[in-house]
A = this chain, B = another copy of it.
Amino acid sequence: MSVIIDQDREGLPRDGYAVIGDWGTSRLRLFRVEQGVVTARRDGPGIGAVGGAAALALAEIIAPWLTDGPPRCITLCGMVGARDGWVEVPYADCPADAPTWRQVAATFDWRGVPVRIMAGLACEGADGVPDVMRGEETQIFGACLHDPALGQGRHMIVLPGTHNKWSLLEDGRVTAFHTVPTGELFALLRDRSTLAAKVEAPDPAEEALGFAEGLDKAGVVQLFHSLFATRSMRLRAGRSPDWALGYLSGLLIGCEVAEMRATLGEAAHVVLIGDKALSMRYARAFGAQGIATRLLDGDACARAGLGYGGGDGA
Protein backbone atom coordinates (compact mmCIF):
# COMPACT_ATOMS: atom_id res chain seq x y z
CA MET A 1 0.00 0.00 0.00
CA SER A 2 1.33 3.40 -0.90
CA VAL A 3 -0.21 6.57 0.46
CA ILE A 4 0.69 10.05 -0.65
CA ILE A 5 1.13 12.55 2.14
CA ASP A 6 0.45 15.65 0.16
CA GLN A 7 1.56 18.28 2.59
CA ASP A 8 4.63 19.10 4.56
CA ARG A 9 6.96 17.14 2.32
CA GLU A 10 9.77 19.31 3.53
CA GLY A 11 9.15 17.85 6.99
CA LEU A 12 10.44 14.47 5.89
CA PRO A 13 13.97 13.42 5.02
CA ARG A 14 14.90 13.53 1.32
CA ASP A 15 17.65 10.97 1.72
CA GLY A 16 17.19 7.50 3.09
CA TYR A 17 13.94 6.77 4.89
CA ALA A 18 12.17 7.74 8.09
CA VAL A 19 10.08 5.52 10.31
CA ILE A 20 6.94 6.93 11.87
CA GLY A 21 4.35 5.13 13.93
CA ASP A 22 1.38 5.16 16.25
CA TRP A 23 2.11 2.72 19.08
CA GLY A 24 -0.96 2.32 21.20
CA THR A 25 -1.91 -0.03 24.01
CA SER A 26 -3.22 -2.73 21.71
CA ARG A 27 -1.39 -2.27 18.41
CA LEU A 28 1.52 -0.71 16.58
CA ARG A 29 1.11 0.80 13.13
CA LEU A 30 4.46 1.60 11.60
CA PHE A 31 5.15 3.40 8.30
CA ARG A 32 8.29 3.73 6.21
CA VAL A 33 8.42 7.14 4.55
CA GLU A 34 10.69 8.10 1.67
CA GLN A 35 10.67 11.61 0.19
CA GLY A 36 7.27 12.29 1.71
CA VAL A 37 5.71 9.07 0.44
CA VAL A 38 4.72 6.06 2.55
CA THR A 39 6.48 3.15 0.87
CA ALA A 40 5.79 0.39 3.37
CA ARG A 41 3.71 -0.43 6.41
CA ARG A 42 4.14 -2.98 9.19
CA ASP A 43 1.80 -3.76 12.06
CA GLY A 44 2.97 -5.06 15.41
CA PRO A 45 1.93 -5.78 18.99
CA GLY A 46 0.58 -3.07 21.25
CA ILE A 47 2.88 -1.47 23.78
CA GLY A 48 0.77 -3.14 26.46
CA ALA A 49 1.85 -6.55 25.16
CA VAL A 50 5.62 -6.04 24.98
CA GLY A 51 6.18 -5.32 28.66
CA GLY A 52 9.38 -3.37 29.23
CA ALA A 53 10.91 -4.57 25.98
CA ALA A 54 9.72 -1.85 23.58
CA ALA A 55 13.13 -1.32 21.95
CA LEU A 56 13.57 -5.02 21.34
CA ALA A 57 10.09 -5.34 19.85
CA LEU A 58 10.66 -2.35 17.57
CA ALA A 59 13.99 -3.73 16.35
CA GLU A 60 12.25 -6.94 15.39
CA ILE A 61 9.45 -5.19 13.50
CA ILE A 62 11.73 -2.95 11.43
CA ALA A 63 14.36 -5.64 10.82
CA PRO A 64 13.32 -6.15 7.16
CA TRP A 65 13.85 -2.44 6.50
CA LEU A 66 17.33 -2.41 8.07
CA THR A 67 18.78 -4.21 5.07
CA ASP A 68 18.68 -0.74 3.44
CA GLY A 69 20.56 0.70 6.42
CA PRO A 70 19.18 2.35 9.54
CA PRO A 71 16.37 4.90 9.25
CA ARG A 72 17.24 8.58 9.33
CA CYS A 73 14.91 9.02 12.28
CA ILE A 74 12.06 7.35 14.15
CA THR A 75 9.03 9.32 15.35
CA LEU A 76 6.34 7.70 17.47
CA CYS A 77 3.17 8.72 19.25
CA GLY A 78 0.72 6.97 21.57
CA MET A 79 1.05 4.94 24.75
CA VAL A 80 4.67 4.27 23.83
CA GLY A 81 5.25 7.53 25.77
CA ALA A 82 3.35 6.40 28.87
CA ARG A 83 4.93 5.31 32.15
CA ASP A 84 4.72 1.67 31.10
CA GLY A 85 5.86 2.42 27.54
CA TRP A 86 9.36 2.91 26.18
CA VAL A 87 10.31 6.31 27.57
CA GLU A 88 7.87 8.33 29.66
CA VAL A 89 7.08 11.65 28.01
CA PRO A 90 5.27 14.39 29.94
CA TYR A 91 1.86 15.64 28.88
CA ALA A 92 1.46 19.07 27.30
CA ASP A 93 -1.20 20.98 29.23
CA CYS A 94 -4.27 22.35 27.49
CA PRO A 95 -4.82 24.79 25.97
CA ALA A 96 -2.07 23.64 23.63
CA ASP A 97 -1.28 24.37 20.02
CA ALA A 98 0.93 22.26 17.77
CA PRO A 99 4.22 24.11 18.43
CA THR A 100 3.72 23.95 22.22
CA TRP A 101 2.89 20.27 22.00
CA ARG A 102 5.88 19.45 19.80
CA GLN A 103 8.26 21.06 22.27
CA VAL A 104 7.35 18.56 24.99
CA ALA A 105 8.41 15.54 22.92
CA ALA A 106 11.21 13.33 24.24
CA THR A 107 14.19 12.88 21.92
CA PHE A 108 16.99 10.42 22.42
CA ASP A 109 19.50 8.36 20.53
CA TRP A 110 18.90 4.65 19.92
CA ARG A 111 21.59 2.65 18.14
CA GLY A 112 22.70 5.87 16.44
CA VAL A 113 19.18 6.73 15.25
CA PRO A 114 17.45 9.84 16.60
CA VAL A 115 14.13 8.82 18.18
CA ARG A 116 11.39 11.24 19.01
CA ILE A 117 8.34 10.25 21.10
CA MET A 118 5.57 12.80 20.99
CA ALA A 119 3.85 14.09 24.12
CA GLY A 120 0.29 13.39 25.17
CA LEU A 121 -2.17 16.09 26.23
CA ALA A 122 -3.59 16.72 29.70
CA CYS A 123 -6.47 18.94 30.65
CA GLU A 124 -8.66 19.69 33.61
CA GLY A 125 -12.41 20.16 33.18
CA ALA A 126 -14.33 23.11 34.60
CA ASP A 127 -15.40 20.72 37.37
CA GLY A 128 -11.80 19.91 38.26
CA VAL A 129 -11.83 16.45 36.73
CA PRO A 130 -8.52 15.64 35.02
CA ASP A 131 -8.26 13.92 31.66
CA VAL A 132 -5.43 12.73 29.41
CA MET A 133 -4.83 11.43 25.90
CA ARG A 134 -1.85 9.84 24.16
CA GLY A 135 -1.94 9.39 20.41
CA GLU A 136 -5.17 11.18 19.57
CA GLU A 137 -3.48 14.60 19.87
CA THR A 138 -1.20 13.61 16.98
CA GLN A 139 -4.26 12.87 14.86
CA ILE A 140 -5.86 16.18 15.85
CA PHE A 141 -2.82 18.29 15.00
CA GLY A 142 -2.35 16.16 11.89
CA ALA A 143 -5.93 16.97 10.87
CA CYS A 144 -5.03 20.66 11.00
CA LEU A 145 -2.30 19.96 8.45
CA HIS A 146 -4.77 18.09 6.28
CA ASP A 147 -7.16 20.98 6.38
CA PRO A 148 -5.72 24.38 7.31
CA ALA A 149 -9.29 25.68 7.77
CA LEU A 150 -9.33 23.72 11.05
CA GLY A 151 -6.67 26.10 12.35
CA GLN A 152 -9.21 28.88 12.72
CA GLY A 153 -12.56 29.06 14.50
CA ARG A 154 -14.19 26.55 16.84
CA HIS A 155 -14.38 22.89 15.88
CA MET A 156 -15.51 19.80 17.69
CA ILE A 157 -13.17 16.90 16.97
CA VAL A 158 -14.49 13.48 17.94
CA LEU A 159 -12.24 10.41 17.86
CA PRO A 160 -14.40 7.32 18.38
CA GLY A 161 -12.80 4.19 19.79
CA THR A 162 -12.86 2.17 22.99
CA HIS A 163 -12.44 5.40 24.93
CA ASN A 164 -13.75 8.20 22.76
CA LYS A 165 -12.08 11.58 22.90
CA TRP A 166 -14.30 14.62 22.47
CA SER A 167 -12.06 17.64 21.83
CA LEU A 168 -12.58 21.32 21.25
CA LEU A 169 -10.20 22.94 18.81
CA GLU A 170 -10.29 26.72 18.98
CA ASP A 171 -8.09 28.75 16.62
CA GLY A 172 -5.67 25.86 16.34
CA ARG A 173 -5.46 25.15 20.06
CA VAL A 174 -6.94 22.16 21.84
CA THR A 175 -8.73 24.01 24.63
CA ALA A 176 -10.57 21.10 26.24
CA PHE A 177 -11.23 17.40 25.77
CA HIS A 178 -13.21 14.71 27.43
CA THR A 179 -12.94 10.92 27.46
CA VAL A 180 -16.17 8.93 27.12
CA PRO A 181 -15.76 5.14 27.42
CA THR A 182 -18.74 4.24 25.23
CA GLY A 183 -16.81 1.63 23.27
CA GLU A 184 -15.92 -0.23 26.43
CA LEU A 185 -19.49 0.06 27.73
CA PHE A 186 -20.86 -1.31 24.46
CA ALA A 187 -18.48 -4.28 24.48
CA LEU A 188 -19.39 -5.15 28.08
CA LEU A 189 -23.11 -5.00 27.40
CA ARG A 190 -22.75 -6.93 24.13
CA ASP A 191 -20.51 -9.70 25.47
CA ARG A 192 -21.33 -10.05 29.14
CA SER A 193 -24.79 -8.75 29.95
CA THR A 194 -28.23 -10.36 29.85
CA LEU A 195 -29.35 -7.62 27.44
CA ALA A 196 -27.77 -8.89 24.24
CA ALA A 197 -27.51 -12.45 22.94
CA LYS A 198 -24.45 -13.90 21.28
CA VAL A 199 -24.39 -13.43 17.51
CA GLU A 200 -21.45 -14.74 15.51
CA ALA A 201 -22.00 -12.70 12.34
CA PRO A 202 -24.93 -10.30 12.66
CA ASP A 203 -27.17 -9.93 9.65
CA PRO A 204 -26.34 -6.44 8.35
CA ALA A 205 -29.92 -5.52 7.45
CA GLU A 206 -31.27 -6.51 10.87
CA GLU A 207 -28.40 -4.80 12.61
CA ALA A 208 -28.99 -1.61 10.60
CA LEU A 209 -32.68 -1.67 11.48
CA GLY A 210 -31.85 -1.95 15.17
CA PHE A 211 -29.24 0.79 14.92
CA ALA A 212 -31.78 3.18 13.38
CA GLU A 213 -34.32 2.38 16.11
CA GLY A 214 -31.68 2.90 18.80
CA LEU A 215 -30.82 6.30 17.32
CA ASP A 216 -34.50 7.21 17.23
CA LYS A 217 -34.88 6.38 20.91
CA ALA A 218 -31.84 8.41 21.83
CA GLY A 219 -33.49 11.50 20.39
CA VAL A 220 -36.47 11.20 22.71
CA VAL A 221 -35.28 9.69 25.95
CA GLN A 222 -32.03 8.87 27.64
CA LEU A 223 -30.04 5.75 28.27
CA PHE A 224 -31.61 4.27 31.39
CA HIS A 225 -35.12 4.42 30.04
CA SER A 226 -34.43 2.50 26.87
CA LEU A 227 -31.56 0.18 27.71
CA PHE A 228 -33.70 -2.77 28.79
CA ALA A 229 -35.61 -2.72 25.50
CA THR A 230 -32.51 -4.41 24.05
CA ARG A 231 -33.70 -7.49 25.91
CA SER A 232 -37.45 -7.02 26.13
CA MET A 233 -37.89 -6.42 22.41
CA ARG A 234 -36.13 -9.73 21.77
CA LEU A 235 -38.11 -11.68 24.33
CA ARG A 236 -41.52 -10.10 23.84
CA ALA A 237 -41.67 -8.39 20.46
CA GLY A 238 -39.94 -10.87 18.17
CA ARG A 239 -36.83 -8.81 17.47
CA SER A 240 -33.71 -10.77 16.53
CA PRO A 241 -30.41 -10.86 18.43
CA ASP A 242 -28.89 -9.11 15.37
CA TRP A 243 -31.42 -6.31 15.74
CA ALA A 244 -30.59 -6.05 19.44
CA LEU A 245 -26.89 -5.51 18.73
CA GLY A 246 -27.69 -2.68 16.35
CA TYR A 247 -30.21 -1.19 18.77
CA LEU A 248 -27.68 -1.22 21.61
CA SER A 249 -25.10 0.47 19.41
CA GLY A 250 -27.54 3.11 18.16
CA LEU A 251 -28.91 3.83 21.61
CA LEU A 252 -25.48 4.23 23.24
CA ILE A 253 -23.99 6.33 20.45
CA GLY A 254 -27.11 8.45 20.08
CA CYS A 255 -27.32 9.15 23.81
CA GLU A 256 -23.61 9.93 23.96
CA VAL A 257 -23.83 12.40 21.08
CA ALA A 258 -26.91 14.14 22.49
CA GLU A 259 -25.41 14.43 25.94
CA MET A 260 -21.96 15.55 24.86
CA ARG A 261 -23.38 18.18 22.50
CA ALA A 262 -25.35 19.57 25.44
CA THR A 263 -22.34 19.41 27.74
CA LEU A 264 -19.54 20.73 25.53
CA GLY A 265 -21.63 23.25 23.66
CA GLU A 266 -22.10 23.34 19.92
CA ALA A 267 -19.38 23.97 17.38
CA ALA A 268 -19.74 25.23 13.84
CA HIS A 269 -17.99 22.15 12.51
CA VAL A 270 -17.77 18.58 13.70
CA VAL A 271 -14.91 16.41 12.48
CA LEU A 272 -14.74 12.65 13.08
CA ILE A 273 -11.33 11.01 13.02
CA GLY A 274 -10.77 7.27 13.20
CA ASP A 275 -11.95 3.90 12.01
CA LYS A 276 -14.32 4.44 9.12
CA ALA A 277 -17.11 2.04 10.13
CA LEU A 278 -17.30 3.39 13.67
CA SER A 279 -17.00 7.01 12.49
CA MET A 280 -19.91 6.40 10.11
CA ARG A 281 -22.05 5.38 13.09
CA TYR A 282 -21.22 8.64 14.80
CA ALA A 283 -21.88 10.56 11.59
CA ARG A 284 -25.34 9.01 11.47
CA ALA A 285 -25.99 9.88 15.10
CA PHE A 286 -24.98 13.50 14.53
CA GLY A 287 -27.02 13.52 11.32
CA ALA A 288 -30.11 12.26 13.17
CA GLN A 289 -29.68 15.27 15.44
CA GLY A 290 -29.33 17.65 12.50
CA ILE A 291 -25.56 18.11 12.65
CA ALA A 292 -23.30 17.64 9.62
CA THR A 293 -19.92 16.02 10.10
CA ARG A 294 -16.77 15.41 8.11
CA LEU A 295 -14.79 12.16 8.33
CA LEU A 296 -11.00 12.05 8.27
CA ASP A 297 -8.94 8.87 8.14
CA GLY A 298 -7.23 8.21 11.48
CA ASP A 299 -4.04 6.72 10.06
CA ALA A 300 -3.64 9.55 7.57
CA CYS A 301 -4.09 12.14 10.33
CA ALA A 302 -1.59 10.36 12.55
CA ARG A 303 0.96 10.24 9.73
CA ALA A 304 0.47 13.94 9.06
CA GLY A 305 0.88 14.74 12.74
CA LEU A 306 4.02 12.64 12.97
CA GLY A 307 5.48 14.00 9.75
CA TYR A 308 4.96 17.50 10.95
CA GLY A 309 6.56 16.82 14.28
CA GLY A 310 9.09 14.31 13.05
CA GLY A 311 12.78 13.98 12.52
CA ASP A 312 14.71 16.36 10.31
CA GLY A 313 11.98 18.81 9.57
CA ALA A 314 10.60 19.66 12.98
Which residues of A pack against B, CB within 8 Å? 122, 127-132, 163, 178-182, 184-185, 188-189, 192-195, 217, 220-229, 231-233, 235-237, 255-256, 259-260, 262-263
- Contacts A188-B193, A193-B188 given; does A224 touch B182 at CB 8 Å: yes
Q: Which 5 A-B pairs have the closest CB atoms?
A: A130-B236, A179-B228, A222-B259, A129-B229, A188-B188
A228 & B180 in contact (Cβ 8 Å cutoff): yes
- Cα–Cα distance between A120 and B117 once the two chains are bound (Å): 61
In the assembled complex, how far is the CB of residue A170 from the closest CB belonging to chain B, in whole angstroms?
19
- For A217, give the chain B residue with the smallest CB separation: B127
Additional A-B contact list (10), CB under 8 Å, known A122-B236, A188-B188: A129-B233, A132-B235, A178-B225, A180-B225, A181-B195, A184-B195, A222-B262, A222-B263, A224-B255, A224-B260
- For A180, give the chain B residue with the smallest CB separation: B224
- Cα–Cα distance between A131 and B234 once the two chains are bound (Å): 11
B193 & A184 in contact (Cβ 8 Å cutoff): yes
- Contacts A132-B236, A228-B163 given; does A259 touch B192 at CB 8 Å: no
- Contacts A130-B232, A131-B228 given; does A193 touch B181 at CB 8 Å: yes
- Cα–Cα distance between A266 and B226 once the two chains are bound (Å): 19
A232 interface neighbour in B129, B232, B235, B256, Cβ under 8 Å: B129
Which secondary structure dominates where chain A touches chain B? helix
A224 & B259 in contact (Cβ 8 Å cutoff): yes
- When distances are taken between beta carbons in the complex, the residues of chain B under 8 Å from A225 are 178, 180, 259-260, 263
- Cα–Cα distance between A182 and B180 once the two chains are bound (Å): 18
- Cα–Cα distance between A131 and B236 once the two chains are bound (Å): 8
In the assembled complex, how far is the CB of residue A219 from the closest CB belonging to chain B, in whole angstroms?
12
- When distances are taken between beta carbons in the complex, the residues of chain B under 8 Å from A236 are 122, 130-132
- Contacts A132-B236, A192-B192, A236-B132 given; does A256 touch B184 at CB 8 Å: no
In the assembled complex, how far is the CB of residue A54 from the closest CB belonging to chain B, in whole angstroms?
21
- When distances are taken between beta carbons in the complex, the residues of chain B under 8 Å from A131 are 228, 232, 236
- When distances are taken between beta carbons in the complex, the residues of chain B under 8 Å from A185 are 189, 193, 227
- For A189, give the chain B residue with the smallest CB separation: B188
A223 & B221 in contact (Cβ 8 Å cutoff): no
